[in-house]
Amino acid sequence: MAFDPTTKHPLYEAFAPSWRLLRDAMDGEDAIKARGEAYLPEKSGTRAIADPVLRKVAYDAYKLRAEFPELVAPTVRGAVGVMLDQPAAIELPAVLEPLREKATRDGLTLEGLHRRIAIELITVGRYGVLPGVSDAGAPYLAGYVAESILNWDATNDETDFLVLDETGLVRNRETGAWETAEVYLECFLQDGAYTARRWTKSSSGWVAAEEVVAQDRKRRALDSLPFVFIGANDLTAAPDDVPLYGLAKLAVRVYRLDADYTFALHMTSEPTPVAIGFDDPVEAANSGKAPTTLGSSKLWLLPVGGDAKYLEFSGPGLDAQSKAIQDALSRAVVFGAQILSDTQRTAESGEAIRLRLGNQTSTLKTIALNSAAGLEKALKNLAVWMGANPDDVKVTPVTDFFDHAISAQDITALVAGWQAGAYSWRTMFDRFQRGELIPVDRTAEDELGLIDQDDLERAPSADDAAALTPPTAK
């Protein structure tokens, strides 16, 4: 049986629906509505309409009135903003320094690549980085989203087989039109050497390009596959749980509830007129005897003994539907949907935010550590490839996300406590330093020296002292 590069790992198949949900929720209402009944099933009454054209019109109106809550995208942007508000400290050997300004072939800086990794980990919990060296000998890093890491295998916990989807749009240079080119990169260890080849789709089937063995600057074959799996929890090949899956499910739940709620509101504002007294209602309607339109310019003529009424939907369940929507939105707070507003409440101290968002902080810290660890591992692999010392690579993320600045009232209280002997001057100094009042790189001895210097500068000169000395009584 011929090799099929599109074969997917069983775990890929298992996680793909979750990834699709988060992608759609991240893209927002248009993407969700484009998926139709995948997220918003037809109502039973709509499904009972026999005419497929009328059924589609009714469903499209039902879907159009519904609103999908934008919960996921703001949460992702807020979480990444909190994590990378201060960029990670990155140390590199000289041969990798150019990566700071251009780390990927599409022009991302190293800091930009780190941000992309963090976004993917928050969104789907998975990303991959493959180090490479161009034909000109320049190092680079290639990133792959979760959906592009199709298949993998390992021996003794070391990855020795990998297939990456590189399908994308390619411009036809003759016509100028953009066409989809199916390309898959197969990476594997062969006779202990890292080898790669690309598969492309032709009219006759899959065609493999020539195998390429990766070599370092001394023309020695690399003995390991340098690809790095980065997950929300670790750096293993198995996909991790999607961090915001619960939030996306709640967003879809609110969307469905809102569709029913707005449909019910629409029905309460659209009463149905009924004309009574026609022996054959269908014939009367078709012949024009029965009224079919409303308005002050329309005259209704009814049979003797006939009557006209409105059938009106009173909407007794609207309050319950509204409450269900609010309950679902309240639950979304637990999954981090309010991170933006939480970080903007200037009246709250950093400690109050820390207490209120403890679980979320733990998740962000884990992702911050893993994104940095994955980037560091990829850079170390690239350093080996370029003949540099991998120990010269270090990526240190900032994991203290919250503001520790102290207020004027806090300063007054701290000084008063020190003056009262409740704690030492050094304890007060440490608290001022944590509160960002004193620079973190300044020692207590340096601060005392500055205080002594201030005292000298404030001391009056000899002439000033003489002028200030009261005259001696004679």
What's 361-417 look like in SS3?
Answer: HHHHHHHHHHHHHHHHHHHHHHHHHCCCCHHHCEEECCCCCCCCCCCHHHHHHHHHH
Residue 157 CA to residue 348 CA, distance in Å, equals 47
pTM of structure:
0.74
* Residue type at 70 in one-letter notation: E
Q: What is the pLDDT of residue 362?
A: 53
Q: What is the dihedral of CA 376, 380, 381, 386, to 10 degrees?
A: 140
Contact of 158 with 168, CB cutoff 8 Å: no
Which of 79-88, 158-167, 324-333, 412-421 has the highest average model confidence (pLDDT)?
Answer: 158-167
Rounded percentage of the chain residues whose pLDDT exceeds 70 = 85
In this predicted model, what pLDDT tens digit does every residue of 251-273 receive, in sequence order? Answer: 999 999 888 888 887 777 666 77
Residue 386 CA to residue 384 CA, distance in Å, equals 5
In this predicted model, what pLDDT tens digit does every residue of 407-442 receive, in sequence order? Answer: 788 888 888 888 888 889 888 888 888 777 888 778
Average pLDDT, the chain: 84
| Residue 292 or residue 232, greater confidence | 232
Residues 6+ apart with CB under 8 A from 65: 259, 262, 263, 266
pLDDT band at residue 321 using 50, 70 and 90 as cut-offs? confident
- Mutual angle of helices 72-83 and 358-385, in 10-degree steps: 70
